[in-house]
A and B are shown apart, each in its own frame.
Chain A
Amino acid sequence: MQNIQIVLPPGLPADVCTEIAKRACYCDTSIAGCRYLKEERTLKVGCNEGSDIAGLESKLQRLIAKMKSQRLAVQPRTLASRAGGAKAFAGDMFGALCRNGEVTKEGIGVVARRGEFFELLRALDRFFERLSRQHFLSSVADYSVLIPSEWLRRAGYFASFPHSLTFATHLCEDYDRLEAFAERHKGGRALKFEAIEELTTPEFCLSPAVCYHTYGVLMGHRLPDADQGLKACTAVGRCFRYESKNITDLERLWEFTMREIVFVGERERVLDARKRIMDLIWRFVELFDLKGEVATASDPFFATDFNSLRFFQLSNELKFELQLPVDEEKSIACASFNYHETFFGSRFDIKTASGEYAHTACAAFGLERFAYACLVQLGATRTWECLEQADREFFGTSAGG
């Protein structure tokens, strides 16, 4: 293993430095990992022996130049924070879950969930779904893990998040190619492609988020008067974001489970719904006595658009994240509360009853992260007790009642 150290330009906000470190892993396949050393204001990049160091440095410098914010004044703003009741964080929770057989690593960023951990994911999801139905009268949907590439194109996903994409493709309908492929793999030989032409251009991708399905399904619709300016939809689904070397057990998976509540309608009603769901979730955090904070944030855009989109999201407070610490130094975003103005309304031609483009917002819950943070801070017994307490306080009954 070789190391490259690059001192970052002075004055960069901490969130930008962290994002640069995450994005660095996508610069070259020879990069094995990257960390941002806060004290030294340095990017420490590990790469495989024999790597082209000059070439790597050039790519990293171009990445840094793109992501260097021109508007340093805009920084994340904390709306609420609490110290929580946990005296210490449980160490190696992932290892413990694996040893108990509750989580099995199937590959990098892909896990099987079983036993009590799986039950916890289901219970958390039931809670969020119930919250959505009772407080926002949400309709419930079930979407495929495949999403039309055309919908992601409309959403601007290819331009803003190319590094996160996972494509669904298949071999072309071509007798000769299929026969050659089968021949190549006889005797249990490893998967090998000879040319990209063997594969079709993907008409579908694996969903990076649940809400895109909602916009796609509503495409071309005008909300009826009966919705009174707000339509709420909820769904849970498996989501896929390629995280390269940033994958970290349950904290950052390639495939994860997301519950979303999507709000579509008039500006004031959509913003009010976002505020209400944030207040409800913060009450949930208080009830669990979790350590955490809600702060403005920006999405993990690719380098090209990062600068402008971070500025736009932070300045307009379009995105809030619930960050829950999992050790003394690290927090993970377990939920986000996003307002998109009319971005999706215009891209997907969704209109309000008055014929104007609809405003949209969504609340997204990363279930594995949420469960993991609760277990690390509270342990299993206390987490289950808190969930029952939350069911009583929010719904007046126990789970499922």
Chain B
Amino acid sequence: MVDEIRSAVITIVREEGHVDGELALDADLYYEVGVESTRTISILVALEERFGITIDDSEFVKSRSVNSLADLVRRGRP
């Protein structure tokens, strides 16, 4: 299940964050992967819609890699 969540997070980050190249699971999305800050809300909203959860804003901004976003989603699921 965890891997399923991580795969979905990767798909969302790639699509909403416009990431074409390498996407290391622990890399900082904004200053290592190069996701534009203009894409932040799109990623957040897509995660909420995909998993049917509400993500706390302050937790979201601290979760800056694929792995930490996957952890965040896992904690938010019932």
Binding site for B on A (CB under 8 A): 70-71, 73-74, 156, 159-160, 305, 307-309, 311-313, 315-316, 341-343, 346, 357, 359
Other-chain contact of B44, A71, A305, A309, A357 (Cβ < 8 Å): A71
Q: Does B67 contact A (CB under 8 A)?
A: no
Min CB–CB distance A117 → chain B (angstroms): 38
CB of B37 within 8 A of CB of A74, answer no
Residue of B nearest to A341 (CB): B31
Min CB–CB distance A308 → chain B (angstroms): 4
Residue of A nearest to B45 (CB): A70
Min CB–CB distance A76 → chain B (angstroms): 14
B40-77 CB contact bits vs A (8 Å, 1 = yes)? Answer: 11101100000000000110110000000000000000
Other-chain contact of B30, A71, A311, A341 (Cβ < 8 Å): A341
Binding site for A on B (CB under 8 A): 30-31, 34, 36-42, 44-45, 57-58, 60-61
Measured CA separation A354–B20 after assembly (Å): 26
CB of B39 within 8 A of CB of A315, answer no
Interface of B is mostly: helix
CB of B37 within 8 A of CB of A312, answer yes
Question: Given the complex, which residues of A lie within 8 Å of B57, measured CB to CB?
Answer: 71, 73-74, 311, 315
Q: Contacts A315-B57, A315-B61 given: A308-B31 contact, CB under 8 Å?
A: no
Question: Given the complex, which residues of B lie within 8 Å of A343, measured CB to CB?
Answer: 31, 37
CB of A308 within 8 A of CB of B34, answer no
Min CB–CB distance B57 → chain A (angstroms): 5
Q: Contacts A71-B57, A311-B57 given: A305-B45 contact, CB under 8 Å?
A: no
CB of A308 within 8 A of CB of B58, answer no
CB of B31 within 8 A of CB of A357, answer yes
Q: Which 4 A-B pairs have the closest CB atoms?
A: A342-B31, A315-B61, A312-B37, A308-B41
Min CB–CB distance A278 → chain B (angstroms): 21
CB of A305 within 8 A of CB of B31, answer no
A-B contact pairs, 17 of them (CB 8 A): A71-B41, A71-B57, A307-B41, A308-B38, A308-B40, A308-B41, A309-B37, A311-B41, A312-B38, A315-B61, A341-B31, A342-B31, A343-B31, A343-B37, A346-B34, A357-B31, A359-B31
Given A70-B41, A73-B57, 6 further pairs, Cβ under 8 A: A70-B45, A311-B41, A312-B40, A315-B57, A315-B61, A342-B30
Measured CA separation A342–B35 after assembly (Å): 11
CB of B40 within 8 A of CB of A311, answer yes
Measured CA separation A340–B64 after assembly (Å): 15
Other-chain contact of B37, A70, A71, A308, A357 (Cβ < 8 Å): A308
Measured CA separation A313–B40 after assembly (Å): 10
CB of A305 within 8 A of CB of B38, answer yes
Min CB–CB distance A13 → chain B (angstroms): 13
